[in-house]
Amino acid sequence: MDADLLSIQEARDLVGRAAAAQKAFAGASQELVDRVVTAMARAASQAAESLARLAVDETGMGVFEHKVVKNRFASDVLLEYVLPMRTVGVLREDATRRVRELAVPMGVVGAIIPTTNPTSTAIYKAIISVKARNAIVMSPHPRAPRCTAEAARVLEAAATSAGAPPGLVNCLTRPSLDGTNALMRHRDVAVLLATGGGDMVRAVYTAGKPAYGVGPGNVPSIIERTARLEKAVADVVDGKTFDAGVLCSSENSVVVDAPVADRVRALFREERAHFCTPEEKARLERYMIPASGKGINPEVVGQSPQRIAERAGFRIGDRIKLMIVELREVGASDPLSREKLCPVLGFFVEDGWEKCCERAIALLRYGGVGHTLGIHSQDREVIERFFLEKPAFRIVVNSNTAIGAVGYTTGFAPALTLGPGSWGGSITSDNITPMHLLNIKRLGEEIRSYVDPLRDAPAASTPRGGDVAIDDRAVQSIVDEFLTGLRSRRR
């Protein structure tokens, strides 16, 4: 049978399985829900290393040790955050307004899993879905079906061992575009949870379902003149090299305040950064930018700087952690100013935080508006201006943005799906949590009475609207009179 038809049939079968399981789980108590998600998180944490190894081996992307961190973030850190949440029964009562709010699960979640984070995103999406008493069907990237399916298997086994019905966690094993479309458009899928490239997110939003989606980030990080420079540079290097730069929240360019630019360059070199020559930059552009001028060459995603340099036609030292390209413009004239998803960092110099900010805004508008912006500064007024005015919904202060935006080094909600808000074409600007996968039913009791102002008005002598009641005889008389006149005129 055709592979696409097999994929479509598998999607339909798994949605049916998930719908049956979710119907059985919809009446679960909070105690059972919490027992199940705890078991899922602990099983995923125990499998963090084996799943990370599978992901690196299958996709050829990223850094094993960092993928372990992501898997444990999506299990241990996420569990700590979601476990206290009430997702069953009455969530809130307003005694004054006499309103009660009841948690109602959405149903079956259709989840798109990216190749850049194929196991950690699967863990995260499964846990937040089940915490809200939903089932989930995941569509892995075609380059990562085995590791994502193994993550789903671990989670499903843990859920059923803790008392959940079989079928809460599902994953396509024959992913294809047709199979994913069948999943997204299935009548029993209630909501879509998508993480991936811009084209994928746009497809999700045209599937006719409620959807949470996030695409590119192109995150800029500003090092302002009052920053603690050593920490700022170390943070940017840590963020850009975390899992070889595959997170959409990782730094793609640094914008440096002119008075500290020379010191920042020296610190980057101490952190084992390689500043590319103009010729090396040109070679990177030819290799990294497709002939169409759009996007990035997928062969560079999650690769080491040494491999990228070699394929571009030059060599760098074995100890180099990232490459830096000096840029002057944002856009097609300097194409490496876009999101790069690898250890290649853009470097701008501007004089004053206002100019730095203008450059950062241009970078956000070149593929990342609404997502994330980093600021390294000790000037609280500058930080406040960034918070109040800049077009990003996550302002990460004095930390690396890669794992700051997802809630690892900050107090943000732990999440691997980050909404860029309406500015970025999404329905939400939040880090997605179980609360986004609940419907809220409300009961409202009367708090003020209504009296119809016409209730006690005197009855009108004729029907309202000016119409006059005419009995049958009067109608017949009018007709007879009309016919008599008509005959007279004919004579």
Q: Tell me the C-alpha distance between 322 and 274, whole Å.
A: 6
**Residue 196 CA to its chain's centroid (Å):** 8
Q: Tell me the C-alpha distance between 264 and 86, whole Å.
A: 47
Q: What DSSP state is assigned to residue 334? A: B
Give the CATH class of 3-215.
alpha beta
So what's the pLDDT on residue 199?
73
So what's the pLDDT on residue 203?
81
User: Hey, is 427 helix, strand or coil?
Assistant: coil
Strands in 169-171's sheet, in edge-to-edge order, are 169-171, 135-139, 108-112, 189-195, 211-214
Catalytic residue flag (residue 171): no
Distance (Å) of CA 330 to CA 218, 236, 253: 11, 20, 10
Taking 70 as the pLDDT cut, the residues of the chain under it are 1, 197-198, 460-471, 474-475, 479, 482-483, 485-491
> How confident is the model over 319-347, as pLDDT tens digits?
999 999 999 999 999 999 999 999 999 99
Please name the residues in contact with 115: beta carbons below 8 A apart, sequence gap of 6 or more. Answer: 59, 61, 141, 143, 144, 301
Give the CATH class of 219-407.
alpha beta
Residue pair 213/205 in contact by the 8 Å Cβ criterion: yes
> How confident is the model over 362-377, as pLDDT tens digits?
999 999 999 999 999 9
- What letters, b where the CB count within 10 A reaches 16 and e where it falls short, cover 392-414? bbbbbebbbbbbbbbbbbbebbb
So what's the pLDDT on residue 201?
75
Q: Tell me the C-alpha distance between 43 and 315, whole Å.
A: 42
Write out the two tokens for 22.
């979710």
Q: Tell me the C-alpha distance between 166 and 187, whole Å.
A: 21
Confirm whether pTM is higher than 0.95.
no
So what's the pLDDT on residue 476?
73
Domain ranges of the chain: 3-215, 219-407
Q: Tell me the C-alpha distance between 46 and 450, whole Å.
A: 60
Strand ranges inside 69-207, DSSP E: 90-94, 99-105, 108-112, 135-139, 169-171, 189-195
Write out the two tokens for 277.
């020559």
Task: Name the one residue in this structure whose structure tokens are 């001028």.
Answer: 293
Q: What DSSP state is assigned to residue 164? A: P
Catalytic residue among 147, 171, 248, 356: 248
